[in-house]
Amino acid sequence: MFRKRYLVVMCPRCGALRYAKSSQKTTLCFGCNYHIPLDPAKTHILFKTDKQKEAVKAVQQYKMNRGKTSSSQSRF
Protein backbone atom coordinates (compact mmCIF):
# COMPACT_ATOMS: atom_id res chain seq x y z
CA MET A 1 0.00 0.00 0.00
CA PHE A 2 1.32 3.43 -0.97
CA ARG A 3 1.60 5.86 1.95
CA LYS A 4 1.91 9.61 1.76
CA ARG A 5 4.91 10.62 3.83
CA TYR A 6 4.23 14.36 4.26
CA LEU A 7 1.13 16.18 5.48
CA VAL A 8 0.23 19.86 5.26
CA VAL A 9 -1.89 21.03 8.20
CA MET A 10 -3.25 24.27 9.62
CA CYS A 11 -2.81 25.02 13.30
CA PRO A 12 -6.27 24.96 14.93
CA ARG A 13 -5.21 27.68 17.39
CA CYS A 14 -3.54 30.36 15.25
CA GLY A 15 -4.10 29.24 11.66
CA ALA A 16 -0.41 28.95 10.74
CA LEU A 17 0.40 26.45 8.01
CA ARG A 18 2.96 23.74 8.48
CA TYR A 19 4.08 20.48 6.93
CA ALA A 20 5.25 17.39 8.79
CA LYS A 21 6.14 13.76 8.25
CA SER A 22 3.13 11.50 8.50
CA SER A 23 5.02 9.16 10.85
CA GLN A 24 4.96 11.84 13.58
CA LYS A 25 2.15 11.97 16.14
CA THR A 26 2.34 15.76 16.53
CA THR A 27 4.13 18.74 15.01
CA LEU A 28 5.02 22.03 16.64
CA CYS A 29 3.34 25.18 15.35
CA PHE A 30 5.91 27.88 14.70
CA GLY A 31 3.27 30.57 15.22
CA CYS A 32 2.01 29.74 18.71
CA ASN A 33 4.09 26.74 19.90
CA TYR A 34 1.01 24.48 20.00
CA HIS A 35 1.62 20.77 19.47
CA ILE A 36 -0.66 20.03 16.52
CA PRO A 37 -1.97 16.44 16.58
CA LEU A 38 -1.51 14.76 13.19
CA ASP A 39 -4.60 12.62 13.73
CA PRO A 40 -7.15 13.25 10.93
CA ALA A 41 -9.94 12.98 13.51
CA LYS A 42 -8.50 15.97 15.40
CA THR A 43 -6.83 18.12 12.73
CA HIS A 44 -7.86 19.00 9.18
CA ILE A 45 -5.19 17.75 6.77
CA LEU A 46 -5.01 20.08 3.76
CA PHE A 47 -2.65 18.09 1.54
CA LYS A 48 -0.77 14.78 1.42
CA THR A 49 2.27 13.91 -0.68
CA ASP A 50 5.24 11.58 -0.76
CA LYS A 51 7.70 14.35 -1.70
CA GLN A 52 9.03 16.99 0.71
CA LYS A 53 9.40 19.58 -2.08
CA GLU A 54 5.71 19.23 -2.92
CA ALA A 55 4.77 19.74 0.74
CA VAL A 56 6.91 22.90 0.92
CA LYS A 57 5.38 24.18 -2.31
CA ALA A 58 1.86 23.46 -1.04
CA VAL A 59 2.49 25.46 2.16
CA GLN A 60 3.86 28.37 0.10
CA GLN A 61 0.87 28.23 -2.27
CA TYR A 62 -1.67 28.16 0.58
CA LYS A 63 0.08 31.15 2.19
CA MET A 64 0.07 33.11 -1.07
CA ASN A 65 -3.61 32.38 -1.71
CA ARG A 66 -4.55 33.26 1.86
CA GLY A 67 -2.62 36.54 1.64
CA LYS A 68 -4.43 37.53 -1.56
CA THR A 69 -7.82 36.76 0.01
CA SER A 70 -7.19 38.71 3.22
CA SER A 71 -5.61 41.70 1.45
CA SER A 72 -8.48 41.98 -1.04
CA GLN A 73 -11.01 41.84 1.78
CA SER A 74 -9.25 44.52 3.83
CA ARG A 75 -9.56 47.07 1.02
CA PHE A 76 -13.33 47.30 1.42
Greater pLDDT, 1 or 47: 47
pTM of the model: 0.79
In a domain, 58, yes or no: yes
DSSP string, 8-67: EEE-TTT--EEEEETT-SEEE-TTT--EEE--TTTS-EEEEES-HHHHHHHHHHHHHHHH
Residue 3, SS3? coil
As for how many domains the chain has, the answer is: 1
In a domain, 50, yes or no: yes
Q: For residue 53, is it within any domain?
A: yes
- Tens of pLDDT, residue by residue over 3-20, are 779 999 999 999 999 999
Whether 1 maps to a domain, the answer reads no
Mean pLDDT computed over 31-55:
94
What value does the mean pLDDT of the chain take?
Answer: 87
**Is pLDDT larger for residue 66 or for residue 58?**
58
Other CB atoms closer than 10 Å to residue 26's CB: what's the count? 14
Domain ranges, residue 37? 6-74
| Residue 13: per-residue pLDDT | 95
Q: How far is CA 16 from CA 2, 44, 48, in A?
A: 28, 13, 17
Based on its alpha-carbon atoms, the radius of gyration of the chain, rounded to whole angstroms, reads 13
